Amino acid sequence: MMPKIVTRLTVVSMAAGTASVAVGCLVLCGWALDIERLKQVAPGLVAMDPMTAVAFILAGLALLLVRVQQRGPTTRRLAQLFAVSIAVIGLSKLGSIVFAATTGVDQLLFSAKLGGVAGAVPNRMAPNTALNFVLVGLALLFGDRSTRSGYWPAQWLVFTAGTMTMLPLIGYAYGITSFIGIGSFIPMAVHTAVTFLIIELGILAACPRGGFMTMFTSDTSGGIIARRLLPTAIMVPMALGWLRLAGEDAGLYSAELGAALLTTATIIIFTIMIAGNANQLYRGDAELRRTEQALRIAKDTAETANRALTRAIDDLQEQIAERQRVEQELQTFATALERSNGELQNFASVASHDLQEPLRKIIVFGDRLATKAGDALNAEGRDYLARMQASANRMQTLINDLMTFSRVSTRAQPFERVDLAVVARDVLCDLEVRIEQVGGHVEVGSLPIVAADPTQMRQLLQNLIGNALKFRKPDQPPRVKVSSAPMNNDGAAMAQIAVEDNGIGFDEKYLDRIFAIFQRLHGRTTYEGSGIGLAVCRKIVERHGGTITARSRPGEGTTFIVTLPARLPGTKEA
C-alpha cells in the first residue's frame, strides 16, 4: 500500500464530506430565502428537496466523523447516529411511495413552498434518491467493517448506489428521461446526482485499506492499472458520447459519421492508455528482474566470501594449534611464541610489522635483483620480476591505507578548536610538488574554525584535494576550489565545506559506492589508488558527527560536500 495515495484519499474523503455539507446548506438557504439558483442548477430543471439537503448534510457530517472516529467512542456513535438517520429518511420516503401516503418525510420542511415548484409537479424526494440514501446510510454505518470471508459491505453498497447515481448523470448528459427518474415520479435533480457521486467517492476514499480499495491503493501492477485506467474507462466514453450527440444536434455530421468518430476516438484513446501502461509495467518488470539477478549475484558473492572466511578461520585455527604444539615441544621458544600470539590478537600491529617487514624485503630484494641481475634475465623473467614488484607495491599501499583506515578510531585525538584555513595551507604545502607536476591550481576560500581532531582534519582535506588532482581530465589541468558556508541544523551551528574540481566526474548512481572501502569506479591501470581514501574521509566525518556527500556528472567535475559541527559540545558562540 502506498502511503502517499492513502494520504491523498484521506484528503479526498474530508473534501467530499465538506462539499456534501456545503451543498445541503446552500440548498436549505435557497428554500428559506426563495433563491431559485440555490434550489436548482438552472431554470426548468428539478430542484433539490429540502429533506434531501438535510440528508446530504448528515451524510457529510458522518463522513467527516468517520475520518476522526479514533478520537473516542462518542464521535463514533454520533457518526453511526447520522448514518442511521440517513437510511431512515430514505426508508421513510420509500414506505410512503409503497403505501401511497399523501404526506411523507420529504414534506416536513417548507411544505408551503413545495407545491408550485417545477411547474404543476410538486417538489418531492425522487424514489431513486430515497433508495440511494438507504444505501449510502448503510454504507456509512458499516464503515470499515468486513465479513469473515473478507467482503466489505460498505464498498458493495457504494458500488450499487454509484450505479444508480450514474444513470441520472448519463440521462442528463444525453437527454434520456428514462434514466433520470422512475415512471411518473419526480426525477432526481442533477445536483442531487452530482452530490451523491461526491459522497460515494468520499466513502470509498475513507476506507483505503480493505476490499477493492486495497488493490486500488497498492503499489502492485494491478493497483497501477486500476488507478490509471479506471477513471479513463468511466470518463472517456461519457465525454465522447456527449460530444457525438452535441455534434449531431449541431448538424456537424450524420449519425453514421458520429458513430464512426466515436468508435475511432475510443480505440485511439484506449490504445494509447493501454500501450503506455503496458510499457511502464514492462520496464518495471525488467527492473525487477535485474534486481533479482543482482540479488542472486550478491548472494553468491556473499556465500563465496563466507566460505573463504571459513577457510581463513580454519587456517588461522590450524596455525594457532601448530604454535601451541611447538610451544609445548620447545620450551626455549616460549617467550617468542607468547609474543606472537599477542600479535595475532592485534590486527593493527600485525599489519604494521609482521606483514610490512617481509613485504619491504620483497620490494628491496626485488629492486636489487632488477638492478644487478636484470640484464641477465630474459624477457619473460623480467616480466615476472616486474609483476612481482608491482604486486608488492600494491600490497604495501593497501596495508598502509588499511592502517590509516583503522587509526581513525584507534588513534583518534580529543576534539579542539581547529582553524581549517591553517590546515588547508599545510595540506597545500604537502601537495606542492604534485600540484606542479600536474599543472594544477588550488583556490582556498574562507574556511571556518571547527571542533575537530586536527590530524584527521588534515587527512580529510588532503584526501579530498588529492582525489581532485588525481581524477583529472587528460587534456585539461586540474582546477580545485575549496570553500565553506555556515549552516543551521535544528539550532546547532554547522559548517559546510565544499571541494569542487573540474575533473572527470562520475554518475551519481554510484554515490554510495565511492564511499565504501575497496570500491573503485576505474581500473588500477587508469588511476592509481586502493579504493580506501574516500572510505577514510567518511569515517573521519562520521566520527565528528557530520556528513559527507557529493554532486557530480560524468565529464563535468565533482563537488564533495562535508558538513561538520562548528563548535565544541556545550559551548556557545562568542
Mean pLDDT of 564-574: 59
- Between 14 and 255, the more confident residue is 14
292 vs 281: CA distance, rounded Å = 16
Query: What's the confidence (pLDDT) of residue 136?
Result: 92
- Between 536 and 562, the more confident residue is 562
Q: Are 120 and 139 in contact (CB under 8 A)?
A: no
Cell of 136: 449510502
pLDDT digits (tens, 9 = 90+) for 488-539: 877 778 888 999 998 888 888 878 887 777 666 665 556 666 667 788 888 8
Q: Which H or E element spans position 558?
A: strand 558-565
Identify the CA nearest to 523 among candidates 429, 335, 394, 360: 394
81 vs 60: CA distance, rounded Å = 13
Residue 385 has pLDDT above 80, yes or no: no
CATH 3.30.565.10 fits 416-565, yes or no: yes
Identify the CA nearest to 567 among candidates 457, 506, 492, 517: 492
Q: Are 447 and 420 in contact (CB under 8 A)?
A: yes
Residue 354: DSSP 8-state: I
What are the φ/ψ torsions at residue 431 (nearest 5 degrees)?
-95, 10
122 vs 136: CA distance, rounded Å = 25
Query: What's the confidence (pLDDT) of residue 279?
Result: 80
pLDDT digits (tens, 9 = 90+) for 31-87: 989 888 888 888 878 889 999 999 999 999 998 887 664 556 788 888 889 999 999
Q: Which H or E element spans position 322?
A: helix 255-329
- Between 229 and 320, the more confident residue is 320
Residue 567 has pLDDT above 80, yes or no: no
Domain boundaries defined on the chain: 3-211, 346-410, 416-565
The crossing angle, in degrees rounded to 10, of helices 190-206 and 127-142 is 10
402 vs 349: CA distance, rounded Å = 12
Burial of 388 (0-12, 13-18, 19+ CB in 10 A): middle
Q: Are strands 416-419 and 449-452 parallel, antiparallel or unpaired?
A: antiparallel
Q: Are 144 and 214 in contact (CB under 8 A)?
A: no
What are the φ/ψ torsions at residue 441 (nearest 5 degrees)?
-140, 130
* Lowest pLDDT segment from 318-327, 381-390, 478-487, 537-546: 381-390
What are the φ/ψ torsions at residue 162 (nearest 5 degrees)?
-65, -40
DSSP three-state, residue 493 = strand
In which band, very low, low, confident or very high, does the pLDDT at 359 lie, cut at 50, 70 and 90? low
Residue 151: DSSP 8-state: -
Identify the CA nearest to 206 among candidates 14, 4, 3, 1: 14
Q: If you average pLDDT over every residue of the chain, what do you get? A: 80
Residue 337 has pLDDT above 60, yes or no: no
Identify the CA nearest to 45 among candidates 191, 241, 199, 239: 191
Burial of 309 (0-12, 13-18, 19+ CB in 10 A): exposed
Cell of 96: 410512503
Residue 110: DSSP 8-state: S
129 vs 9: CA distance, rounded Å = 26
Burial of 227 (0-12, 13-18, 19+ CB in 10 A): middle
359 vs 403: CA distance, rounded Å = 15
CA dihedral 165, 169, 170, 172 (to 10 degrees): 140
- Between 150 and 334, the more confident residue is 150
pLDDT digits (tens, 9 = 90+) for 286-304: 888 888 888 888 888 888 8
Mean pLDDT of 221-229: 71
What are the φ/ψ torsions at residue 495 (nearest 5 degrees)?
-120, 130
Query: What's the confidence (pLDDT) of residue 24?
Result: 92
DSSP three-state, residue 547 = strand
pTM here?
0.48
CA dihedral 440, 441, 447, 452 (to 10 degrees): 20
Q: Are strands 416-419 and 479-489 parallel, antiparallel or unpaired?
A: unpaired
